[in-house]
């Protein structure tokens, strides 16, 4: 499973990237706002830091304007993935941009039918939002399962990018189902290393080591 980090914070990306934990980056208008940076400037900095795909989202709502914005964003770097909303206009833009050879991430997906349309429009990635479905008492992981089944049935190349990941359990469940990629905030990725039994075991080892009176260095 590929790990994308869902942030526009350069320091957080750099820390994870140094550990080899970043296969790509996803951003959105809310994350750009949080960063307090100019979208073109911060996106270029991320692209220079990370080798993998970096999703930059359009803000237009009509297809022609989405295409224009997508082309502008794609000029930032070769690893830009144009991020489009899963609307009819977004699908039109996806078709055009993907045929131009640009990577496209179709976002805000909440049904397998939507995912099917995105794949047929040539999307590189489809981003189903797990957490937001859970928020309204629907099973976000069931959506990942449905998309995986549909894509496997018909041999679509579109990669499933599990998004709106809120917990380490989301990561594990998505990996079990076979999502190609997951994107999560830096703090969720870091929590994957945590387990109470690891902490308890380390505490016991340190206590026993202290009793030996020894030093390694």
Catalytic residue (one of 2, 34, 44, 83): 83
From CA 10, how far away is CA 20, in angstroms rounded? 15
**Joined tokens for residue 54:** 């970096």
Active site residue 83: yes
DSSP characters for 43-103? HHHHHHH-SS-EEEE----SHHHHHHHHHHHHTS-TTEEEEEESSHHHHHHHHHHHHTT-E
CB 42 within 8 A of CB 32: yes
Query: Which has the closest alpha carbon to 26: 71, 62, 78, 80?
Result: 80
Residues known to be catalytic: 83
């Amino acid at each position: 499973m590929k790990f994308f980090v869902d942030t526009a914070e350069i320091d957080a990306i750099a820390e994870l990237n140094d550990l080899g934990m970043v296969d790509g980056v996803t951003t959105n208008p809310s994350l750009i706002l949080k960063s307090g940076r100019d979208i073109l400037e911060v996106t270029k900095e991320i692209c220079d830091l990370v080798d993998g795909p970096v999703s930059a989202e359009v803000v237009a709502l009509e297809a022609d304007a989405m295409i224009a914005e997508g082309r502008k964003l794609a000029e930032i770097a070769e690893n830009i993935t144009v991020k489009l909303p899963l609307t009819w206009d977004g699908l039109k833009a996806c078709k055009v941009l993907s045929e131009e050879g640009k990577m496209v991430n179709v976002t805000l997906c909440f049904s397998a039918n939507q995912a099917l349309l995105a794949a047929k429009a040539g999307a590189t990635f489809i981003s189903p939002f797990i957490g937001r479905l859970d928020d309204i008492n629907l099973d976000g992981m069931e959506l990942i399962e449905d998309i995986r089944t549909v894509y496997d049935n018909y041999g679509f190349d579109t990669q499933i990018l599990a998004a709106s990941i809120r917990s380490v359990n989301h990561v594990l469940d998505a990996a079990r189902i076979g999502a190609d990629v997951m994107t999560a905030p830096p703090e969720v990725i870091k929590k994957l290393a945590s387990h109470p039994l690891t902490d308890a075991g380390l505490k016991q080892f340190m206590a026993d080591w202290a009793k030996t009176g020894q030093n390694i260095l």
